[in-house]
Chain A
Amino acid sequence: MIRWLVGLIGLALATTQALAADSIEIGVGYLGVAGTRSTLSLVEQPAQNDGVAGAKLAIEDNNTTGKFLNQHFTLEEHRIKEDEDPVRTATALAEKNDFIITDLPADALLKVSDALRDRGTLLFNAGAIDERLREADCRANVIHSAPTRSMLADALGQYLVWKKWSRWLLVVGSHDQDKLYADALRRAATRFGAKIVQERTFEDTGGARRTDSGLTLIQRQIPVFTQQAPAYDVLVAADESEVFADYLPYRTWDARPVAGSAGLEPRSWDAAQDQWGATQMQNRFMKLNSRRMTALDMQAWTAVRMIGEATSRTNSGDVKKVTDFIKGPDFSVAAFKGTRLTLRDWNLQLRQPILLVDGRMVVSVSPQEGFLHQVSELDTLGYDRPESKCKLK
């Protein structure tokens, strides 16, 4: 009886090994937050699958490549609910997945990364743009495919300065992340020689974002709010909380363009991006997801493609080998932005061009011509190595 059992187990083991030799399974987890945020513009309202839809496409792309290399990728998604412990959920997800793409707030991401550190799971931050995750709070097991606030602000700043719109009226929302974006915009102004002629705060007094009689009031409110400003070229708005910025264009007291959180916005990706072969990518995305591709979708796509790039170059699904390759000097990934994207080795931030978009078209792509750098022009965007406070551990 026992002999028979042992034989059976042995046979089962042998079969598993044979299967494993057939194809390397690479599990990728996606960890997001349940529910969607509310936006001022109805057309900007994110889809339920914002982000993970990009990961899904990249899994398909990786699998097309993987079939030539006997590698197979799977995606497991989990959305954390309000009362859920992110650490417990992430730990469960890490059981089967050595790689996890995250779209989490900074604090939750830090908890998760610390909890998974000893396990060797590699995390890709596709959602959080917070500077501190790449600076004082950087982690050796977190790679950032999302750009930072300073990269976005610098991309916009370079263009405004190139355009010679160097006098900015800065309008800042009253929430914490609005203030962080304003910090990044102030830093950009100083770096590239723009002048903030005045700052105003737009207080969030609460209330619904959508009302049946909404526009009448806004049309009176915004001109009054923006009047009597010193002479300026462009109004720059910092409103990540989606409270007021989209109300500004065409309603300012002076006839001035709007940039920042409305009007001309810096983004890692846009549905209108069609240069450098991006059309094929946009088509593939549309075919798979029946909607257009957002910046978050792209950041997740890039993260999963980074994994696929490393597994095909190393011909391995081993998380240690893949991690070492991604962090090593030979790593780069192509992401339809006209140049190879590489990692900043001091904080694991992905270097990338930033698009400037108006909601319909890509107006420009930063870094702008003439902003030079001794290593990579992409390092003119965001905090550079000498300024970095990051100590990877």
Chain B
Amino acid sequence: MSSIPRYNDAALPPPLAGKVRTARGQMLRMLLATVLVALTARPAHAFIAYVSNEKSNTVSVVDTDSWTVAKTIKVGQRPRGIEFTRDGKFVMVAVGDDDTIQMIDAKTQAVVDTLPSGPDPELFTQDAAGRTLYVANENDNTVTVIDLEKRARLGDIQVGVEPEGMTISPDGKTLINTSETTNMAHFIDTGSRKIVANVLVDARPRFAEFKHDASELWVSSEIGGTVSVIDPNKHAVIGKVNFEIPGLRKEAIQPVGIGMTKDDKTAFVALGPANRIAVVDTATRKVTKYLLVGQRVWHMAFTPDEKYLLTTNGVSNDVSVIDVAAQKVIKTIQVGELPWGITIAP
């Protein structure tokens, strides 16, 4: 069973999974694993998802094997953007009303440190090496640059009104920030930290996601009700994804989170109060299916094996689990109040 070691990595107590690298450690690790497998006899591929609950000021830790909440961590006020550090050791969560980003130790599952973000941080992104963090600060029209190793602020970049969506190009050279009231995607050169281009999109752009091959940038517009497909080299909108759901008024379709499969063939778009995830064929930019999830769906994260996609449903206080291959919702997990962001251990 080739899949067992992988399962061990995720399911073992963190000190063993993360640090022990000696032969003795390996031995112990395998032994423990065998015991664990024998004890629980659970199927392979368990992952840990962290869900930020905007209203309850908590982070729910979800076990993707049992699909249950394993732990609830108390964090600061109004947690929204949430992401693992690249090394998988920490979970960073933006607590907007406390004007900071908290770091949760993935081993102890407790808040251990804070990062010096600007006021009201919401979403953030990091470079491929996991050294630099870029934070959108909604309240003062800036993006804050943070050195993740020193946990120190390196500087600010002035952007449009209410910066929100953040992503970085696969080569790490271009940072994308979307500003909600300016309605633009700002292209920022990570070397000079200067804006090199601004692309106008539809109203209230909230989230940006690159294709893995860097050929396209997708930006969702919550109030505009569309996803703009941008050519990142030409800095131009080359297409738009439109949504139409029979029996649902247009205003209820409010695209937010976007998830792109590793082969870049399929995109999943969260449609907010439309309570659906749109499955989009990226070649034709047409919706092939709408999956009914919980109420006011915000964001999503794939399990690393890409078997499942988990979505946060703000109003119904739950997380929907989508079987990616079957394109079906298979499970709903109750979490805290107003779940917003989600990240899954690498």
26 A-B pairs in the complex with CB atoms less than 8 angstroms apart: A61-B182, A64-B182, A65-B161, A65-B179, A65-B182, A65-B184, A68-B186, A68-B198, A277-B138, A277-B180, A277-B204, A280-B138, A280-B139, A280-B162, A283-B120, A284-B139, A305-B181, A312-B182, A334-B180, A334-B204, A334-B223, A338-B273, A339-B223, A339-B251, A340-B223, A340-B251
A sample of 6 more A-B contacts (CB under 8 A), given A68-B198, A280-B120, A340-B223, is A65-B161, A280-B138, A283-B120, A312-B182, A376-B249, A377-B251
* CB nearest to A284 among chain B residues: B139
Question: CA separation between A64 and B141, bound complex, in Å?
Answer: 9
Query: Chain A: interface secondary structure?
Result: helix
Q: Which chain A residues border B224 with CB–CB below 8 Å?
A: 332, 340
Question: CA separation between A141 and B195, bound complex, in Å?
Answer: 38
Q: Digit string of B179-202 for contact with A (CB within 8 Å is 1, else 0)?
A: 111111010000000010010100
Question: CA separation between A376 and B225, bound complex, in Å?
Answer: 15
Q: Which chain A residues border B273 with CB–CB below 8 Å?
A: 338
Does A313 sit within 8 A of B, measured CB to CB?
A: yes
Q: Which chain B residues border A68 with CB–CB below 8 Å?
A: 160, 182, 184, 186, 195, 198
Question: CA separation between A20 and B166, bound complex, in Å?
Answer: 34
Residue among A280, A333, A376 making CB contact with B203, cutoff 8 Å: A333
Q: Digit string of A294-332 for contact with B (CB within 8 Å is 1, else 0)?
A: 000000000001000100110000000000000000001
Question: CA separation between A283 and B225, bound complex, in Å?
Answer: 26
Question: CA separation between A61 and B181, bound complex, in Å?
Answer: 8
Interface size on B, residues (CB 8 A): 25
Question: CA separation between A277 and B273, bound complex, in Å?
Answer: 15
Q: Which chain A residues border B251 with CB–CB below 8 Å?
A: 339-340, 376-378
Question: CA separation between A376 and B251, bound complex, in Å?
Answer: 8
Binding site for A on B (CB under 8 A): 120, 138-139, 141, 160-162, 179-184, 186, 195, 198, 200, 203-204, 223-225, 249, 251, 273
A312 near B223: Cβ-Cβ < 8 Å: no
B200 near A313: Cβ-Cβ < 8 Å: yes
Known: A65-B183, A340-B223. A277 touches B161 (CB 8 A): no
B203 near A340: Cβ-Cβ < 8 Å: yes
Q: Which chain B residues border A334 with CB–CB below 8 Å?
A: 180-181, 183, 203-204, 223
Query: Chain B: interface secondary structure?
Result: loop
Q: Which chain B residues border A340 with CB–CB below 8 Å?
A: 203, 223-225, 251
Interface-centre pick from B204, B223, B224, B249 (highest chain A CB count, 10 A): B223
- Minimum CB–CB distance from B118 to chain A (whole Å) comes to 13
- Minimum CB–CB distance from A83 to chain B (whole Å) comes to 40
Question: CA separation between A313 and B182, bound complex, in Å?
Answer: 11
- Minimum CB–CB distance from A175 to chain B (whole Å) comes to 37
Q: Which chain B residues border A277 with CB–CB below 8 Å?
A: 138, 162, 180, 204
Interface residues of A in 190-241 (CB under 8 A from B): none
Q: Which chain A residues border B162 with CB–CB below 8 Å?
A: 277, 280
For chain A, which range describes its interface: under 10, 10 to 19, 20 to 34, or 35 or more residues?
20 to 34
Question: CA separation between A376 and B249, bound complex, in Å?
Answer: 7
Residue among B141, B183, B186, B195 making CB contact with A312, cutoff 8 Å: B183
Q: Which chain A residues border B186 with CB–CB below 8 Å?
A: 68
A65 near B203: Cβ-Cβ < 8 Å: no
Question: CA separation between A89 and B120, bound complex, in Å?
Answer: 43
* CB nearest to B273 among chain A residues: A338
Question: CA separation between A135 and B186, bound complex, in Å?
Answer: 43
Q: Which chain B residues border A377 with CB–CB below 8 Å?
A: 249, 251
* CB nearest to A351 among chain B residues: B251
Q: Which chain B residues border A376 with CB–CB below 8 Å?
A: 249, 251
Question: CA separation between A313 and B251, bound complex, in Å?
Answer: 20
Residue among B161, B181, B203 making CB contact with A332, cutoff 8 Å: B203
- Minimum CB–CB distance from B330 to chain A (whole Å) comes to 29
Q: Which chain A residues border B182 with CB–CB below 8 Å?
A: 61, 64-65, 68, 312
Interface-centre pick from B200, B224, B251 (highest chain A CB count, 10 A): B251
* CB nearest to B78 among chain A residues: A279
Question: CA separation between A106 and B293, bound complex, in Å?
Answer: 49
Question: CA separation between A376 and B198, bound complex, in Å?
Answer: 32
Q: Which chain A residues border B225 with CB–CB below 8 Å?
A: 340
When A and B form their complex, which 8 residue pairs have the shortest distance between CB atoms, in order from nearest? A65-B182, A334-B223, A68-B198, A339-B251, A334-B203, A340-B223, A334-B204, A64-B161
Question: CA separation between A69 and B182, bound complex, in Å?
Answer: 11
Question: CA separation between A377 and B113, bound complex, in Å?
Answer: 47
Q: Which chain B residues border A65 with CB–CB below 8 Å?
A: 160-161, 179, 181-184
